[in-house]
Amino acid sequence: MNLLKRLLGKPSSKISHPLEKHLGYSFSNRALLKQAFTHRSITTEPKQNYERLEFLGDAVIDIIISQELMKDFKNEDEGFLTQKRSSLVQKSFLGSMGKKLNLLSHLNIESTVDLNLEKIAEKQAANTYEALVGAIFLDGGLKPARKLILNTLWVNRQEAWKAINYKGQLIELCHILKIANPRFLVTNVSGPDHQKLFEVYVIIKDDQFPTGIGTNKKTAEQSAAQYALEALSS
């Protein structure tokens, strides 16, 4: 039995679409299934390509992952939870899940988009994963969408939480791109002495990137560096 069948349960006898057999999930509205795997290179019509579903899937993933983190880490603060969630919802990790599920083999995309390039393939795998979550949520509700998220992202969470030196990677990328080195600026420190929360953002030349949050300056810098890396790599 393939991976997606194990994740979503036994297929319905009504399943006829090859991708539904692969998923083990029967869509009531197959237009959502088609949309989830249609790239904008095929059509720029918003209701026919995956981008709206990707937008929705991103939000559903955030909610489910946030719920699980709240349950697992009952005494940790916002900064800790934010950092854990960021690692799980970053494009590179979502892309690795999309690749494990072999989603790109079902993507309807123009040949001018070169999926042999690692960065492009990773981005498309991540986008397709989010679109699939959005499509399942619209079609079957939160329960099957949650099941897919928990059995892909959540069960592999330790893989995402391995120590990664985002700050070092960002400095290296700036060197490769021949742009200014990043500057890390602390914008706010709040909370009591025993539970401080640091907010840091990155500036590269004249560009400012989203704020990273952490329970100390180092973790906040790592979070901010991760956001900057994702922006520069997109």
Give the domains, in start order, of the chain with CATH numbers. 3-160 (1.10.1520.10), 166-233 (3.30.160.20)
Whole-angstrom CA distances from 196 to 15, 123, 216, 233 are 53, 35, 7, 31
* pLDDT reading at 118 higher than 60: yes
Q: Rounded distance, CA 63 to CA 57, Å?
A: 10
% of the chain at pLDDT higher than 70: 90
pLDDT digits (tens, 9 = 90+) for 62-108: 999 999 999 999 988 877 787 788 889 988 899 999 998 899 999 99
Distance of alpha carbon 68 from alpha carbon 37, whole angstroms: 28
Query: What integer is the mean pLDDT of 51-69?
Result: 97
Q: Where are the alpha helices (DSSP H) in the chain?
A: 3-8, 18-23, 30-36, 51-72, 78-89, 91-100, 118-140, 142-149, 157-160, 166-177, 217-233
Q: Return the DSSP state at 90.
A: S
Per-residue pLDDT tens digits for 178-229: 899 999 999 999 887 767 889 999 999 889 999 998 888 888 898 899 899 8
Secondary structure of residue 108 in the 3-state scheme: strand
Token readout for 40 is 């904008």
What is the Cα 108 distance to its own chain's centre? 20
Rounded Cα gap, residues 148 and 7, in angstroms: 6
- Pair 120, 43: CB distance under 8 Å: no
Catalytic residue ranges? 58, 130
Mode of pairing for the β-strands spanning 207-208 and 197-204: antiparallel
Q: Is the pTM of this model over 0.85?
A: no
Rounded Cα–Cα distance for residues 67 and 20 (Å): 28
CB 213 within 8 A of CB 83: yes
- Reduce the DSSP state of residue 65 to 3 states and report it: helix
Per-residue confidence (pLDDT) for residue 166, from 0 to 100: 85
Residue 182 amino acid letter: P
